[in-house]
Amino acid sequence: MHLTLLLTDQCSAASATTALELLTAANMFAEAPVFDVVTASLDGKPVDTLRGQTLQADAALADIAHTDLVLIPGFLFTLREALPGFGRYGDWLRKQHAQGAVLASMCTATFMLAETGLLSGARATTHWAFADLFRRRYPDVRMDERENLCEDNRLITSGGATAAMDLLLHLMRRYGSLELAQKCSRYLLIDHARSEQSVYVMWSMPKSHGDADILRVQNWLDEHYDQPLLIDALAPRFGFGVRNFMRRFKEATGYTPLAYLQTLRLEKAKHLLESTRMSLDSITLKVGYEDSNSFRRLFQQRVGLLPASYRKKFQPRAA
């Protein structure tokens, strides 16, 4: 099958070269080559990547009348600089999709797909740190940053940088075979069982919204998250009516007050699991909950791992 690796200025060299090396490995391990890979840039000229490395292109987009699969490397640290240029690729991407091609994005290249309008109404994912920006920019796309991979109407999107491995193994399974993907996974030491990126999310409290009254509430919660709290009681404490408080808080932070408090407590719990040997019962009480079983279920639901598994995964070996 014909695969076009779309090279753009400021793309991640790691994304592009990882794709090239894994696709080459897949062709080597397969009985017959699966992927006929062509690298292409807008004008066929070399592109400059994140650290100034130069990537050579085999062709210009105009030279490729039809391809079966388009793979777009990500822009993890250069997204904001690269975004204004994404529109230049829209006509070609829409044409290829209309002709039946599958379009696949690595990491924040989901933004390029969204710029084409093809993701409107579709389910998609991207790196968790850029999900809020994505939602603000493309409200008609059903963003789910918990997922490593999403596929909708021949549009495949993937999460953070290491999710590129999951995407490439998915393409090997889809266009080659399960055995081929498993062989590449074993030889290249790639974990192929990951389904979510929520376990890696580091939540940053949204405080740059400009609502000083809501910021006072947030700062108070930072100091009192471990106490028994009734959300409805927060409104009169800070001079709000309940309905007005709920509306203002959601508009400012993007969270309901309850979801905000839960996430704040979970982040505190994650820190304690990573940095101490406190028991789960002690951590449960420390972050404002009473029932460790209920907290364990909430933690697994929101983070994607049980607390004990999270501790094993992220606590330094020497702890």
Q: Is 254 exposed, middle or buried (0-12, 13-18, 19+ CB in 10 A)?
A: middle
Q: How many CA atoms lie within 13 A of 152 on its CB side?
A: 19
212-314: which CATH architecture?
Answer: Orthogonal Bundle (1.10)
Quote the pTM value. Answer: 0.64
Residue 62 pLDDT greater than 90, yes or no: yes
- Taking only the tens place, the pLDDT of each residue in 258-306 is 989 998 999 889 889 888 889 999 999 999 999 999 999 999 888 878 9
Per CATH, domain 2-200 is 3.40.50.880:
yes
Picking from 50, 39, 303, 21, the residue whose alpha carbon sits closest to that of residue 165 is 21
277 neighbors 271 (Cβ within 8 angstroms): no
2-200 and 212-314: identical CATH topology:
no
* Strand 155-158, strand 142-143: pairing: unpaired
Q: Where are the domains of the chain?
A: 2-200, 212-314
What per-residue confidence (pLDDT) applies to 128? 85
**How far apart (Å, rounded) are the C-alpha atoms in residues 121 and 102?**
17
166 neighbors 194 (Cβ within 8 angstroms): yes
**How far apart (Å, rounded) are the C-alpha atoms in residues 267 and 226?**
12
Higher pLDDT, 254 or 26: 26
Residue 231 pLDDT greater than 60, yes or no: yes
Residue 41 pLDDT greater than 90, yes or no: yes
